Structure 1
């Protein structure tokens, strides 16, 4: 039976009373906050749309990925219930579900946790590639086998308001293979991303990568060089 864990600082929750808070659905967007800990600044980021939630934390000086988790959610009575698809700390805490108490305070997202984190919304920026994408196959598109929603092995890309993140994971075993993210632009067939965190190689933080892209029906054709400088051609399918 799956256990539901309340998380402090994302792993143990307690309720706080804030007189000025109001009950409301979470407004889709990207939210940020910072927290000082042991002389370091921890960046906390939330990406949330109408049914999917991703949380990530990292430091930039020095660069260090801390953790990420995410999945489909429902919201009722100011409790966000998340059925996780991935959890980078799964081997440590075994969490597959979360229950997150929250409120919206004007435009801010308040997680009613022991830390009392208040997340501020990022600027709204609409771009060509906004949305969720699942890796389908390597190009060129010549009828080769594709991975899709039915496959437990997934690589998800979540692009929203100028922020991107990819996550590689397995929904059956909860094996976490890696993640990276930061800021991006996509315009006139040119996709550019700047890396803010990268779980596999912290030395890549700060790098800017440029790719060519083309939208064909429900597919994103992505060409260029990867973080190792190797040529790549990927096809991503829009997640519905």
Structure 2
């Protein structure tokens, strides 16, 4: 098995700016991808999304689309170092709440980490969709009224770049992981469409496309339509920066 440090180093992101620059959160926003061959000889595809002050990465096997791992949390950049504080980590639950810092260099669209020979390629720069941000699930409509969901250690986060999305359900106190899924998305004429590329709970959902109505109300994302099981839903997702200012 690869070391945890190596797994972390291949679970972040890339950027197209000179290596001498001081990195800002705005410059790093976007989605990034890499591929590597696991110890059992299987190819793994990893996508990382950096948005709204948070980063999440997810890996799946390319031969059957089965889910492999996910990790993420808050991050900050200082020059050519990146520090991540984990909120979830299916590779090592004991790292939840801990922070690690890594050095990196950038040449063109390629990012490499010190001590690792793998590289990341930029997918998008955080533009292209209306919903690029990190959101928490904060409410749903019941009997025509919005019922708020309390913000506790149990969280469901949805993080989006300009073209990619991932949702993750987890507990920041215990490190318990409940599930994740993600892929590509579009926002066109009030319609949010997601195309599933991985789903930890049911690989048979890979390849499905789901379309919903969406609108932004005071920056909160209102999301309505039919769930993957065909049931009507109306959800409210609030940007994390709004929640954390309260």
- TM class by smaller structure: 0.7 to 0.9
Alignment pair present for 1:142 and 2:145:
yes
2 CA distance for matches of 1:206 and 1:35?
A: 22
CA distance in 2: counterparts of 1:50 and 1:133, whole angstroms: 8
Superposition CA RMSD, Å: 2.4
Residue of structure 2 in register with 1:22 after alignment: 19
* Partners of 2:52 and 2:240 within 8 A in 1: no
Alpha-carbon separation, structure 2, partners of 1:110 and 1:50: 23
Aligned residues: 223
Aligned mates of 1:200, 1:39 — CA distance in 2: 24
TM-score (norm 2): 0.81
The structure in which a higher percent of residues are helix is 2
Cα offset for 1:158?
0.7
Q: What is aligned with 1:59?
A: 61
- Offset, 1:61: 2.1
TM-score by length of 1: 0.83
Unaligned runs of 5+ in 2: 11-17, 242-246
1:8 corresponding residue in structure 2: 6
Question: In 1, distance between residues paired with 2:78 and 2:215?
Answer: 39
Looking at structure 1, the residues matched to 35 and 182 of structure 2 have their Cα atoms a distance apart, in angstroms, of 17
Name the counterpart of 1:17.
none
Match of 2:42 in 1: 40
Post-superposition Cα deviations, 1:47-80, rounded to whole Å, max 9, x if no partner, equal: 2247322222112321111111111122335332
Identify unmatched segments of 5+ residues in structure 1.
13-20
Query: Is contact 1:31-1:109 (8 Å) kept?
Result: no
Give, in whole Å, the separation in 2 of the partners of 1:152 and 1:81. Answer: 22
Q: Against the structure 1 CA distance between its residues 50 and 146, is the aligned structure 2 distance closer, same or farther, given a 3 Å change threshold?
A: closer
